[in-house]
Structure formats: C-alpha cells, structure tokens
Amino acid sequence: MTQSDAQTHDRVKQALRIQRIETPSWAYANSGTRFKVFPQEGVPRNPYEKIADAAVVHRLTGVAPTVALHIPWDRVDDYADLAKYAADQGVALGAINANVFQDNDYKLGSVTNPDPGVRRKAIDHLLECVDIMDRTGSRDLKLWFSDGTNYPGQDDIRARQDRLAAALRETYDRLGDHQRLLLEYKLFEPAFYATDVPDWGTAYAHCLELGPKAQVVIDTGHHAPGTNIEFIVAFLLRAGKLGAFDFNSRFYADDDLMVGAADPFQLFRIMYEIVRGDALGPEAGIAFMLDQCHNIEPKIPAIIRSVLNVQEATAKALLVDAAALAAAQQAGDVLGANAVLMDAYHTDVRPLLAELRAELGLDPDPMAAYARSGYFDKIRAERVGGQQAGWGA
C-alpha cells in the first residue's frame, strides 16, 4: 500500500469512527403489510426489551448508540427510568416520533382535520411528545403526518395548509432551546390523492416559516420513483435545513426494506453528498436514523446488516478522490469525472471496515458475531407469554 493510500485509509477510518446511526424501536417489533403481520419468536414485548436489542446492535457495530422511540408504541410510566435503563445498556434515547395516524378521530386528518376539536387533540399529542423529550433528554421531535385526502374536492388544500402551519407553529414555540422539530414528508399513503406534506419543497417551506429549530427529514422511501434524492440532500444541506434521514430502501413504494438493499448505488450517491457537504460528523447535526420494517427476516440481524450497509456506502463516499473529481469537473471531462466517483463506488471497503472494527476492539464481522452470540436463543427462551410489540399501541 502506497503512503498516500495509507493516509487515505487513516482519513477514512477516522471519519468512520465518529459516524453515528440511530436505530428505530419499532423495527425490533412485529410489522407487516395490510395483508399480514407475521409474528416472530423472541420479539420484544415492551420498550425495555426493544432497547436491550438495540444495545446488542450497538455492542456489535460500535456506531448505533441511540434508539428512536415512537409514542404511544413506546409509552412507559417513567421515561427517566427508561432513559436510565438505556444508559445501563450502553445506549441513549434518541428522536421522539409522534403518532397522529392511528386514532379513529384522525380519519379526515389530524392537525389538518376540518374539526377544530380533532386538531386540538392532535396538537396536544405533539406537545405531550415534547414533554416526553424533556424527560428522555431527546433533542429531536420527529413529525410525520399521514394527513391527506383521497378524492378531489374532499377538503380545501389551502385551508389544510393553514391548519398545518398553525399546529406546527404552536409545537415549535413549545420547543426548548436545545430541541428541534424534524418535519418528514411523504408523497402518498395512506392518502391517495393529496398528502398535506408530500415533498421536500413543502416541508422546506414550512421549516423556513417556523425558524432555525425546524429541519427537514428525508425518508428514502417517500419519493416518486426516479426521484434524484441526492439532489434534495445537496440542496437542503446547502440551505442548512437538512435535519435527518429515515434510511431504508425500496423497489416500488414505501417498502421500508433494509437500507442499501434495493439500491446500494443510490445510498452511495446520498452519502457522497453528505461527505461533500462535510456533514458526516455529529457536529453537523444530522440524525442518521433507520426507519425500516423487517416483516419476514430476523429483525436484529437485519438491523445490523443495515448499519453495515450505511458504513460501507459511507466508506466508499469517503474514498472519492475529491481533487481528481474537481479537476475533471473543472475540465468538463464528463467521463473522467464520472469515473472518479465510480472508482470509489467499485472499491471493496469491507477489509477496511473489518480492520477498523478490530482496532475498535469489535469483531470484524458483526453478523457472524451475532450468530455466534446465542442472543437469539436467549430472547426466544425468555420472551414467552405477554403481548409481542408491534404497530399497535
């Protein structure tokens, strides 16, 4: 290995050491589609068991120290005790996800509902989530609204935006100094005509209107097919309005598959824009979260695999020869510039990552380490009886 290769390796490993990926509590629980939820053995029955599983992912990967919660799926009597339990397990509680998409009252919308009483109820839930953040020590309130309509004329598109803006304003004004509001957009589902926060532009406009503590969440499964997501990343980064990712992958719609599974090249292009924007480190303030559903595959290995997929895409992005790329771009060398990026993408970074894990005192192969750990046999034996956790309250 040449001296410059060694320097590049060290630079890449240094950057990967500070990478942080947040795993979602609900990915450890049962999930499915409208057709079927296939329960799995050993699935957690409460937020404590979800956190225990998340802690295993962190112990084996070294880069997943926080767990996002979803309310009411993760409602407990004592959030401070849950936060202490997480700390004892070596992790911390991350973003708090509000849920105004599962109550009968929200059929025609939550914060955009024509009925002011229903809007009040929804806003009170958002404010309750900020109260929970005060107790868990979480920085981020993540808001995704299923709100939308199914037929033209069903409701007034503009009036719904007014209602949304009013709810966001009241919630924003409740935030503490070190808290943020993350607004997530989604093109469609469960609404099939007009979604009230359908795209990055709508989310961006509302966040601009709210203020500096409001940022946009990019869920990689929430775009129309063919959308250039890395363009949205570059644009929002430049505007200082990219707050977080909900990483997953899809072949068709919001499939919530393992990130990098359906389109590893897209994940690489996204992480390249993060590296190019010098936004990989915690100081950049971007929350790199997974938001996935492991409907048929074993959940903990799937989440470990997903964390590794993000690491691999990031390592490849860090290997891009920035000087050569800039020179080719400046020279208008189309094929040359593309080749610089593809060289990095085609680099097998698994040996480098295995080396890094060994240097961090971790098993170079976390998937094999999990299989050898006997953890699944342990939870399968222990977690008998009780109600398995899922997308129900």
Q: Closest CB to ligand LRH among 149 and 248?
A: 248
Using CB under 6 A as the binding rule, whether residue 74 contacts ligand LRH is answered as: no
Provide the terminal-to-terminal Cα distance of the chain, rounded to the nearest Å. 55
Strands (E), 262-375: 287-290
Q: Closest CB to ligand LRH among 219 and 312?
A: 219
Using CB under 6 A as the binding rule, whether residue 171 contacts ligand LRH is answered as: no
Alpha carbons 188 and 253: distance in angstroms, whole number: 9
Classified as helix, coil or strand, 256 is coil
Q: How many CB atoms are closer than 10 A to CB 55?
A: 20
Alpha carbons 368 and 307: distance in angstroms, whole number: 14
**Contact characters 240-259, Mn ion, x per CB under 5 A:** ------x-------------
Chain residue at closest Cβ approach to ligand LRH = 144
Q: Closest CB to ligand LRH among 27 and 369?
A: 27
Beta strands at 180-184 and 214-219: parallel, antiparallel or unpaired: parallel
**Contact characters 252-271, ligand LRH, x per CB under 6 A:** --x-----------------
Q: For residue 20, which of 284, 215, 250 has the smallest C-alpha distance? A: 284
Using CB under 6 A as the binding rule, whether residue 291 contacts ligand LRH is answered as: yes
Residues between 233 and 252 with contacts to ligand LRH, criterion CB under 6 A: 246
- Residue 254 contact, options ligand LRH, Mn ion, none, Cβ 5-8 Å cut-off depending on partner type: ligand LRH
Strands (E), the chain: 22-24, 66-70, 92-97, 140-144, 148-149, 180-184, 194-195, 214-219, 242-247, 287-290
- Which of 291, 311, 344, 353 binds Mn ion (CB under 5 A)? It is 291
Q: Closest CB to ligand LRH among 182 and 304?
A: 182
Q: Closest CB to Mn ion among 74 and 219?
A: 219
Report residue 247: phi and psi, to 5°. -85, 135
- Residue 97 contact, options Mn ion, ligand LRH, none, Cβ 5-8 Å cut-off depending on partner type: ligand LRH
